[in-house]
Structure 1
Amino acid sequence: MALHYHSSPILLLQLFFYFSVSFAAPRSNETAGGVRIWPLPVSVTHGGHHRFYVAKDFHLITEGSNFSDASRILEDGFSRLLDLVRVAHVVDANLSRFASSSLLHGIHIVVSSPSDELQYGVDESYRLSVPGPAPGKPAYAYLKARTVYGALHGLQTFSQLCSFNFESRVIEVRMVPWNIIDQPRFSYRGLLIDTSRHYQPLPVIKKVIDSMAYAKLNVLHWHIVDTQSFPLEIPSFPNLWFGAYSKQERYTIADATEIVRYAQRRGVSVLAEVDVPGHALSWGVGYPALWPSKDCQQPLDVSNEFTFRVINGILSDFSKIFKYRFVHLGGDEVNTTCWTVTPHIRNWLRKKGMKESDAYKYFVLRAQKIALSHGYELVNWEETFNDFGSELSRKTVVHNWLGTGVAQKVVAAGLRCIVSNQDSWYLDHIDTSWEQFYTNEPLQNIKDPRQQKLVIGGEVCMWGEVVDASNIEQTIWPRAAAAAERLWTPYDNLAKDPSQVFARLAHFRCLLNQRGIDAAPVSGLGRSAPWGPGSCFVQ
């Protein structure tokens, strides 16, 4: 059956983009040479024509003087590895026809730290080796890591060395021996999801976490609530989730605890955000006293002590669930008009001798003190730094989003920074290409090594206005993977021309598809459809 295409402007744009990209660099030398790993490790060497066939009883051997895997994080990670390398194929080969020296019997993992605490700055390094064939000696892959989370990254890398051979019906590791040394460039490698603009069901959030682990992203920034809805249960103030879209579009405390548990077992921390004082209209559905007035409903009422009691209750409940070092307090896009037109707040401002800009600073700094009292360090959007940066707590991480150049100013002031400049790392900007994601450099124009260390990492942001469960994955991937390599791989190993990694990124996108992740084609803009019939490896 032939397919006929109408020459719509969108289709013509897709065809032009596809041909301009794919003919420029249909296959990179790296992929032709066999290094298909994404993100690219610090150091990779491999052999030529030798290969191993993965034995049917491929098994895990663990070792470490103090490591016991009592929580079974590594054991569960290994079980997921087996599922990943099989990619749902039926491995039905008779392996007895292969020489014993050609079989890879298992993976030997050594973890030196007994702790399975996942926290900012945890050691994520690993060394992975797959030896060449040695007659008379059973072959094992070897993985060494300081922590179980480094070991999980090593397992992800090993999974990308494996491929299913459709002729022999067996899983292979080709081009042995392999020797890989790896560790992340930045400790914070984030992805934001927004569950206020559209509710995301728990299975969808879990799939996002799975896909993050595949790309070695390690922080899920959960923008839980906003103007439109308040879906999370807060035991201290149980009416807050009256602001959810519906009773079915909510998260219980047990749900949130499960998300944190699920993520932690995959090496992903959860950064919770409660954005104040703006972006909070939904809070007043359950507690109208939080609004400046019935007719002017945000930002939150700065003059009402009840406002800060609610924030304290939320952060108290957060501290029992979200154990990550940081909490995100927002602070962006605050329009103070409601404060100046509401009589009781206007009178309060006059008595305090404050302008509305002073009240904005007062609110942010007071919210910071509440968070600090619950043991958190702080993240705030960059407007807080732009307006009164010198008065922020020194435990503040400034979250850049408005544009480039902010990180340079933040670290010069001695504060830490997360880079998410919207011109390059906002996933809801559908017209931003993967090449822009790949080339966005967090340390741009920051030359002082001491200041470079204050950039703790970066984050791609999947704001939820135009995504729900039906399209979130294809909007995130593969562009988030381009940023993931920027955040993981040493600067000198990154391609200076993005076309050099097109084939390797296309391979990773196909791998995501094989693993059930709805990643969009590489040769297009965000959330684009395939341009026409063809292999996923060139689209």
Structure 2
Amino acid sequence: MLSAISLGMMARYFVKRKTMAISVGILLSLFVLSLFLPKAKKFLPGLFVMKKHSGGAGPENFDVYPSETKGDEQLRVPWTWECKHMASFRTPGMYCIRELTSSFAEASSFQECSLTCTEGRSFWPLPRNITHLGTTVVEFSPNKVALSVDTDSVSDQDHRVDVVRHYLRTAGKLFLKDVKRYDVRRKLIRKKLPVVVQITLAVNSAIVHLGLGVDESYSLSVSRQGDRVRVKIDAATVYGARHGLETLSQVMDYDPYRQAFIMLDSVQLTDRPSFPYRGLMIDTARTFIPVPTLKSVVDAMSWNKMNVLHLHLTDSQNFPLDLANVEQLADFSAYSATDGVYEVTELSQLVAYAKLRGVKVVPEVDAPGHVGSGWEWSGDAILCNNLLHQGSWTSYCVEPPCGFLNPASKMMFRTLRKVYKTVLETFDHDLIHMGGDEVRFTCWNNTPEISDFMKSIRLNSSFEGFLTLWGDHFQKPAMELVEELNFGKPGVNKTDAILWTNSLTEVKTIRKFLPPEKYIIQVWDHSTGETGAELMKLGYRVIFSNYNSLYLDCGYASWLANKPFWCADYLPWYKLYDFEPKVESGKHKGANLGAEACMWTETTSVNALEAKIWPRLAGLAERLWTNPSRDSFYAWDRVNLQAERLALRGVKGDQLQPKWCLLNPGVCYDSR
């Protein structure tokens, strides 16, 4: 609309030229046109709908053409998607086929077709038992979604019903927030709809502790009766109910053709995970990852039903934990002055944030190796950390700076106790990762203090002697510290410790040092190895992180030499999807807890983190939740939909294929 000042200036200009009558007429015409232009556009779409196109140098070019109206504003889309059986595709079946249409009023959007066509629809991960899926949708508004909580079956002996109700209501709010993100143009209330969606969340347990093996099962039913869509989610725990809401969000979308939200009007399914541990490890030591970024990762994990975020908090180069009872560790850390440290309060907030999204945060304090930074102030607590300028670090450790804790040092154990105390108070008490990665004996073998200590306890300087030094005189007392600090705490029956596979976990020696009832072993050798299977036969619980299948940093350049990285092959999403967890039967059934993808960050910046994780991690998510019998080839269309959904919700992930492939399902995959 023309401003009053502009009108006044034009009027004076025309008055000076004695054309006042003409000027007033022109000004009035412009004024009236400015008032009615929006409505004129609505009633005369053929005049006002323009299509922008590029062409040569100079100003932008536009084509003017007629448009049709669907919903409450003009859209011009020549495409429709029809659900058709394609026998000629490599995988014959029902597909959403894009076709030209001459009547937009009868066209179906890609979103509607994705919800109503194909075997797996738009689910990710795929539910394990789908009884019924309808083929029609109903329009609704997120502003007319009513959530009710049913806890009548929950025993309130521990006064936890209010906690359960709070969790469920929060989960409902998060669900609605996620669904609204489907409308990227934010036109939620432009269309008035009579339909009311009534969601009932029913749980029968007051369990709110997110421990290993917590029941995450649920059932979901959707039915329509006139203008009422009734949704019922039944679950044993709040975590199953949360997963049910996530699945419900995947039978919903925003339809740009209808300019309304749509959802399937008929659904029946039951679901539960195949494995209790579905994890992601992020190395927050080599590269400091701010808590807001970690929260974004947690969000995306929850949208893929992943349930463990393992934080590799400390390593050779950095100790970014600001601990009030031992501040020197952060003060002496390599990055603390410039790159930030974690405050205990913000880590506690991360734990609570993740729990509301069904994700458990597990802390790792790596020891007795990989401790080259932060311990420099501690006197005899650390050994072999002064090799940087001697040109000999490669024989002592796998990467600089070297550093190993001293099992003969009382100062080391006093400091370690303080570290464990704060960590166990900040995170859940029942699970801690104690590291144990890449411990070389060269350092201990070349330290007179260690030699004297070993003589005093009658150990010789053999490989077996150093194993005993590590197992009996470091790992055992370290675990005793953890158990002592947790003793008597409410809700803690025992604390499980996770260790990386190492020389201490070799099949022939592990039982001597590591009781299977206390330790979980994280296996990171090649996937063709038998370490995991052998450990399960010995009664150990196992988490698989085979580097050739689950290390997300593989395929990038080495940071220590001008040569290929030690794990040179990049892992696409389908490599993670086709990972096959080894499952034991009989008395060892359940020993395989699941798997964990690892995002080491020696060559990953905080800005690149999400793109290196997503949407690749979605492949492992479906493997661990559904454990499908078919390989990744059959999941291409759905993983593209999941990648698009993650992007709509704000995940800064990488691209799997051109978006053209998303809009033309079944076409891009090489049939050879």
Aligned to 1:300: 405
Q: CA deviation at 1:360?
A: 2.4
For 2:129, which of 43, 56, 64 is the aligned residue?
43
Cα distance in 2 for partners of 1:203, 1:536 equals 30
Q: CA deviation at 1:46?
A: 3.6
1:205 aligns to 2:342 (yes or no): no
Aligned to 1:358: 468
Cα–Cα, structure 1 residues 506 and 310, in superposed 2: closer, same or farther, change >3 Å?
same
Aligned CA-pair RMSD: 2.4
Aligned to 1:499: 633
Question: SS of the counterpart of 2:178?
Answer: helix
Cα distance in 1 for partners of 2:325, 2:258 equals 60
Question: SS of the counterpart of 1:283?
Answer: coil
Indicate the structure whose relative CO is greater, using CA pairs within 8 Å and at least 6 residues apart.
Answer: 1
Aligned to 1:385: 505
Cα distance in 1 for partners of 2:131, 2:288 equals 45
Moved more, 472-481 or 108-117: 108-117
Aligned to 2:335: 245
The residue correspondences of 1:207-286 to structure 2 (distance < 5 A) are: 207-242=296-331, 243-247=333-337, 248-286=339-377
1:160 aligns to 2:250 (yes or no): yes
Q: Whose radius of gyration is greater, 1 or 2? A: 2
Q: CA deviation at 1:29?
A: 5.8
Cα–Cα, structure 1 residues 324 and 425, in superposed 2: closer, same or farther, change >3 Å?
farther
Cα distance in 2 for partners of 1:157, 1:111 equals 16
Cα distance in 1 for partners of 2:259, 2:377 equals 59
1:79 aligns to 2:165 (yes or no): no
Cα distance in 1 for partners of 2:196, 2:580 equals 40
Q: CA deviation at 1:496?
A: 2.2
Cα distance in 1 for partners of 2:206, 2:467 equals 49
Q: Flag as ranges the 4+ runs of structure 1 deviating above 6 A.
A: 23-28
Aligned to 2:585: 448
Contact 1:270 1:324 in 2 (8 A): no
Q: Deviations over 1:278-305 (max 9, x none)?
A: 0111132343432225525521112212
Q: CA deviation at 1:42?
A: 1.3
Question: SS of the counterpart of 2:275?
Answer: coil
Moved more, 184-193 or 293-302: 293-302
Cα distance in 2 for partners of 1:323, 1:124 equals 18
Aligned to 1:433: 572
1:61 aligns to 2:148 (yes or no): yes
For 1:149, which of 207, 214, 239 is the aligned residue?
239
Q: Deviations over 1:228-254 (max 9, x none)?
A: 100012222121112150335101111
The residue correspondences of 1:117-132 to structure 2 (distance < 5 A) are: 117-131=209-223
Give the residue type in structure 2 aligned to 1:152: R
For 2:655, which of 521, 525, 528 is the aligned residue?
521
Question: SS of the counterpart of 2:404?
Answer: coil
Cα distance in 2 for partners of 1:403, 1:61 equals 48
Aligned length: 499
1:460 aligns to 2:597 (yes or no): yes
Q: Deviations over 1:260-290 (max 9, x none)?
A: 1111111111111111100111132343432
Cα–Cα, structure 1 residues 2 and 480, in superposed 2: closer, same or farther, change >3 Å?
farther
Give the residue type in structure 2 aligned to 1:315: Y
Cα distance in 1 for partners of 2:90, 2:457 equals 64
Contact 2:584 2:591 in 1 (8 A): no
1:400 aligns to 2:523 (yes or no): yes
Contact 2:133 2:268 in 1 (8 A): no
Cα distance in 2 for partners of 1:510, 1:27 equals 22
Cα distance in 2 for partners of 1:146, 1:270 equals 22
Contact 2:372 2:385 in 1 (8 A): no
User: Structure 1: any 5+ residue segments left out of the alignment?
Assistant: 4-22, 524-529
Aligned to 1:477: 614
Cα–Cα, structure 1 residues 169 and 324, in superposed 2: closer, same or farther, change >3 Å?
farther
Contact 1:105 1:140 in 2 (8 A): yes
Q: Deviations over 1:116-140 (max 9, x none)?
A: 2222221111111111x323x7322
Aligned to 2:203: 111
Cα distance in 1 for partners of 2:541, 2:164 equals 35
Cα distance in 1 for partners of 2:218, 2:407 equals 49
Cα distance in 2 for partners of 1:58, 1:438 equals 35
Contact 1:192 1:221 in 2 (8 A): yes
Cα distance in 1 for partners of 2:203, 2:652 equals 33
Aligned to 1:367: 478
The residue correspondences of 1:410-425 to structure 2 (distance < 5 A) are: 410-425=535-550
Q: Identity over the aligned pairs, expressed in percent?
A: 29
TM-score computed with the length of structure 2 as normaliser: 0.70
Q: CA deviation at 1:364?
A: 2.2
Cα distance in 1 for partners of 2:145, 2:345 equals 36
Moved more, 190-199 or 384-393: 384-393
